[in-house]
């Protein structure tokens, strides 16, 4: 039986209620995360905030899984 993929998630909110959100800031975040293996799964704008929230995921690695199982050993 194949073990299901476990995921880790990342969330970032970009922009401000006064200045709004620039496309370049969104592209920069998505490109940076893409290089690190993250895939955007949801992008939304909280109503009236002028901000954009990005949710991304990537497969959980064995190293991260071990680190999370032993939180006292984190560097």
pTM: 0.77
User: For residue 74, what pLDDT is reported?
Assistant: 57
As for how many domains the chain has, the answer is 1
Write the CATH number for 22: 3.30.1660
Q: Is-contact 8 58, C-beta < 8 A?
A: yes
pLDDT at residue 46, as a whole number: 84
Residue 1 located in a structural domain? no
Domain holding 38, by residue range, is 7-70
Tens-digit pLDDT string for the chain (75 aa): 888 889 999 999 999 888 888 999 999 999 999 999 999 999 999 888 889 999 999 999 877 777 777 767 655
């Amino acid at each position: 039986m194949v073990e299901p993929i476990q995921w880790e998630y990342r969330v970032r909110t970009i922009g401000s209620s006064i200045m709004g959100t620039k496309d370049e800031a969104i592209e920069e975040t998505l490109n940076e995360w893409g290089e690190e293996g993250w895939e955007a799964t949801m992008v939304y704008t909280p109503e009236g905030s002028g901000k954009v929230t990005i949710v991304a995921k990537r497969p959980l690695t064995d190293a991260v899984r071990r680190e999370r199982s032993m939180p006292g050993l984190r560097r």
